[in-house]
Structure 1
Amino acid sequence: MTLAALGDSLTQGYGLPMEDGFVPQLQAWLRASGADVDVINAGVSGDTTAGGLSRVAWTLTPDVDAMIVNLGGNDLLRGIDPAVSRANLDGILRTAQDAGVDVLLVGLDAPSNYGPAYKAAFDAMYPELAQTYGLDLYANFFASLQDGTDLMGVRVLYMQSDGIHPSAVGVGKIVDGIGPAVLSLIAQ
């Protein structure tokens, strides 16, 4: 089975040796769990949902059986209107649906610095799109890092010095968290 991971720097493995990034660690985790799967790294550092939409058609080659969509972080960092992000994600999911490719949609939680209306609109788009398309949703890419440790502790233990990108240890925890959802996706 071939699984494409469409995303941004979180998927691409920014700041890490190649073998420590999300895709190589996920592939190793899946194989250790008995899944015969090749994971394609379709992550581009700095990419927004618009960039993902522009790349999705050529990412979905005939070899791709399933796809993880992990986009939206750079939209957040740039304060892009959630309606625009949502429309781009909708286009990505529609393209995957038209290609007959099952998708695991991976969300993020918006910070509150753009105000409550922005946060509510951004946070709602992932579950609403998953429901619209009948997809599995992994609600927050960083969920497994939030294990009761305070925010400063999370940054020290699991993040690179920029406070945005996970360290190799952080990626390992993220993979441990998301891995069962990916196994469920490829079982479909």
Structure 2
Amino acid sequence: MIFLTLGPVAHAEIRILGLGDSLMAGYGLPPGDGFPDQLQNALRATGIDAEVVNAGVSGDTSAGGRARLDWALASNPHAVILELGANDGLRGLEPAETRRNLDAILTTLDEKGLPVLLAGMLAPPNLGQEYGAEFEAVFRELAEKHAVLFYPFFLDGVVGDPALNQKDGIHPTREGVAIIVKRIMPRVKELISKSKTAAR
């Protein structure tokens, strides 16, 4: 299922595109409890007139995100939070493939002059230490290559805690999302600062 919500404010000062998978889409959560909505509310609570566009698609891989990038950019964002790769890891796809897709997305966003916050992901431990290290390196190295803001692990502080995850043990609850928002907020504020600088 595809979600693309623009929020109640049609002309916010800052429009942030959240390009991701089910973690961005808000899988298993009622409307208003997903990451884009909670982030938007948290930003507004600090006096930042922001609109967070939910361009999350449950089950999407980095290849899927790459294929629909132009469609997602139709919302004319000022900045982008890129959260893709979790499903690549769950399916055990080659890290080189994830790298190619994310590299292409970041290249396009750079060409459009859009500041980016890249959210990293860790591979499931059952895939082995070697795969995990190679997979984790994809995000860190691409952040360095493209000189974008980097948040090493999107689920930091939430993963592995039954109280903060739904019954599947993968997707965060409303409370889990709140922790993600709180932890990533400093980086998002940096992203907003970069978007304002780029607009000048």
The alignment's TM-score, normalised by the length of structure 1, stands at: 0.93
Q: Is the alpha carbon distance of 1:62 and 1:160 closer, same or farther for their aligned partners in structure 2, counting shifts above 3 Å? A: closer
Question: What are the equivalent positions in structure 2 for 1:41-120 lying under 5 Å apart?
Answer: 41-61=54-74, 63-120=76-133
- 1:136 equivalent to 2:149? Answer yes
TM-superposed CA distance for 1:21, in Å, is: 0.7
2:185 alignment counterpart? 179
Q: Is the 8 A contact 1:35 1:183 kept in 2?
A: no
SS, match of residue 166 in structure 1: coil
Counterpart of 1:169, as a letter, is E
| Separation in 2, partners of 1:57, 1:95 | 9
Q: Is the alpha carbon distance of 1:15 and 1:62 closer, same or farther for their aligned partners in structure 2, counting shifts above 3 Å? A: closer
TM-superposed CA distance for 1:133, in Å, is: 0.4
| Separation in 1, partners of 2:66, 2:19 | 10
SS, match of residue 81 in structure 2: strand
Single out whichever of 123-132 and 113-122 deviates more from structure 2. 113-122
Question: What are the equivalent positions in structure 2 for 1:144-183 lying under 5 Å apart?
Answer: 144-145=157-158, 151=160, 154-155=161-162, 157-183=163-189
Higher helix share: 1
SS, match of residue 68 in structure 1: strand
Fraction of identical pairs, as percent:
48
Specify every segment of 5 or more residues in structure 2 that has no aligned partner in the other structure, as ranges: 1-13, 195-200
| Separation in 2, partners of 1:34, 1:98 | 30
Q: Which string of whole-angstrom CA distances, capped at 9 and with x for unpartnered residues, describes residues 78-133 of structure 1?
A: 11100000100001100100111110000111233222221111010111000000
| Separation in 2, partners of 1:111, 1:161 | 17
TM-superposed CA distance for 1:137, in Å, is: 0.4
Q: Is the alpha carbon distance of 1:41 and 1:117 closer, same or farther for their aligned partners in structure 2, counting shifts above 3 Å? A: same
| Separation in 1, partners of 2:157, 2:71 | 31
Counterpart of 1:164, as a letter, is I
Report how many aligned residue pairs link the two structures. 181
Q: Which string of whole-angstrom CA distances, capped at 9 and with x for unpartnered residues, describes residues 136-160 of structure 1?
A: 10000111326xxxx4xx12x1000
Q: Which string of whole-angstrom CA distances, capped at 9 and with x for unpartnered residues, describes residues 52-71 of structure 1?
A: 10111222237211000000
